[in-house]
Amino acid sequence: MAKAEKGTVLEVAGHQVTVTHPDKMVFPEAQHPDGGVGITKLDLVQYYLAVAEGALRGVSGRPMVLKRFVKGIDEEAFFQKRAPSHRPPFVEIAELKYASGRSAEEAVIRDAAGLAWIVNLGCIDLNPHPVLAEDLNMPDELRIDLDPMPGVDWAQIVEVAFVARQVLTEHGLTSWPKTSGSRGFHIYARVEPSRPYKDLRLAAETVAREVENRVPVLATAKWWKEERGSQVFVDFNQNAKDRTIASAWSVRAVPDARVSTPLRWDDVEGCRMEELTIATVLPRYQEQGDPWEGIETSTGSLDSLLARAKELGPAEKPPKGTGRRQSTMPLIEIARTKTKPEALEWLEVWRAKHPEVAAQLEPADVLVDGMRGRSSLWYRIRINLQHVPEAERPPQEELLADYNPWAGMTWEKTED
């Protein structure tokens, strides 16, 4: 490691990588592995280099969306699909093409130098696609995201995780668990890269439906958020072609620097999300190694899950086409904002305006939706009035805030 005029130069995997603004504080409140407080940009890079063997199991050779926190963890990240034009020779690109006709040349890394380069761009977590650059249309990784609705505790998430494991095992797939580092839990399974994305998503949806069938009080596969109640949503949507989630050993952009930590199944029940931070995970990795060692040779087939999908018959269809769906629930929308903190502030304004109604809501009745904008998320707050007597339900009112992520954009006209 050497000091340079514009930063700190690291020798990594036979390459030089410059860490610009190495002293920039990324996690000012987080515990440092050495016992102090505060984690800098250079500390973050060095964490990824320390766990590089494990982190590369999840990202090596896979095109990645760059989720960049250039203004720090308190500001929304922006999502950059196209790799920067000025990139080092050890960073490759792969062109992903979508049904819309659009395409994006995304970054592909294969070594620890690539990890350091990506983190230096302001990426805190790593977001690879479930496909290798050598065959972009045939995914090789099935991902189950256990997303708890408000009011769900950790014990319920863990119980659903073991049911999902059982389903995968019964259909010939080896499951690999990890915390999300946020609120939920992830389960991965490597699969033969011989089927397109639509089959991968159908297989994941079948897992979700099977889990729901076995523990309907605990888990749901319902597409519509307002219909899920206080359950764990077994999210199969992350297997669509344009979706990514934080990979193994990724640090998440929360104040205590939590890590999306790979686990052995024997460790799942006793783990606690808040205890798995950079400060605790780094010595854990050094002492125990990577629990996901061997995932590369655990490839299975989707055939059994796809056969089960035929037996179950068609599932609820996602929204498609034009027009607005009429919900079966009494929903009102109260705000659309650029950031989540803004949305929650307007929620409190609404609560103060309707205190009697707010007192009757269950946790799952408040729907905070992260919506995809041009290059970042925006937020929508909706209220499900199902637990409020019909005569006491407030009507749909003018939005308290009405952020438009597409304001000022011009749309290219086509013949279609």
Structure tokens at 230: 């206080």
Q: How confident is the model at residue 101 (pLDDT cuts 50, 70, 90)?
A: confident
Inform me whether the pLDDT recorded for 272 exceeds 50: yes
Distance from C-alpha of 137 to C-alpha of 158, rounded to nearest angstrom:
32
Predicted confidence (pLDDT) at residue 412 exceeds the cutoff of 60:
no
Confidence of residue 102 (pLDDT cuts 50, 70, 90): confident
* Max mean pLDDT range (78-87, 113-122, 381-390): 113-122
d(CA 280, CA 263): 14
> CA quadruple 392, 395, 400, 402: dihedral positive or negative?
positive
252 vs 260: CA distance, rounded Å: 7
**Is the model more confident about 260 or about 338?**
260
Is 358's pLDDT higher than 50? Answer: yes
d(CA 154, CA 367) in angstroms, rounded, equals 20
- Phi/psi of residue 15, nearest 5 degrees: -125, 160
For residue 317, the model assigns a pLDDT of 67
Between these two residues, 227 and 276, which has the higher pLDDT value? 276
Residue 298 has pLDDT above 90, yes or no: yes
Does 416 have pLDDT greater than 50? no
* CATH classification for the domain delimited by 141-243+301-312, as one of 1.10.10.10, 3.30.450.40, 3.30.70.3300, 3.40.1160.10: 3.30.70.3300
Is residue 413 over pLDDT 50? no
For the entire predicted model, the pTM comes to 0.85
pLDDT at position 246, please?
95
Q: What is the total residue count of the chain?
A: 416
pLDDT value for 187: 98
pLDDT digits (tens, 9 = 90+) for 114-162: 999 999 999 999 999 999 999 999 999 999 999 999 889 999 999 999 9
Q: What is the rounded average pLDDT of the residues 46-65?
A: 97
Domain-wise residue ranges, the chain: 2-134+271-279, 141-243+301-312, 331-402
Pairwise CA distance, residues 347 & 381, whole Å: 7
Q: Report yes or no: 233 and 183 within 8 Å, Cβ to Cβ.
A: no
List, as one string, the DSSP characters of 333-376: EEEEESSHHHHHHHHHHHHHHSHHHHTT--GGGEEEEEEE-SSS
> What's the whole-number average pLDDT of the chain?
90
Which of the two residues, 113 and 374, has the higher pLDDT score? 113
Q: What is the pLDDT of residues 319-343, one digit of tens each?
A: 554 555 667 788 899 899 988 889 9
- The percentage of the chain sitting over the pLDDT mark of 70, rounded to a whole number, equals 93
pLDDT at 414 over 90: no
Could you give the CA distance from residue 191 to residue 302 in angstroms, rounded to a whole number?
A: 7
Residue of higher predicted confidence among 320 and 57 = 57
Vertex 243 angle, CA 213 and 306, to 5°: 40
What three-state secondary structure class fits 274?
helix
172 and 304 Cβ atoms separated by less than 8 Å: yes
For the beta carbon of residue 296, count every other beta carbon within 10 angstroms: 11
pLDDT band at 288 (very low <50, low <70, confident <90, very high): very high
Share of the chain above pLDDT 90, in %: 73
pLDDT exceeds 60 at position 411: no
The answer, yes or no, to whether residue 415 has pLDDT greater than 50, is no
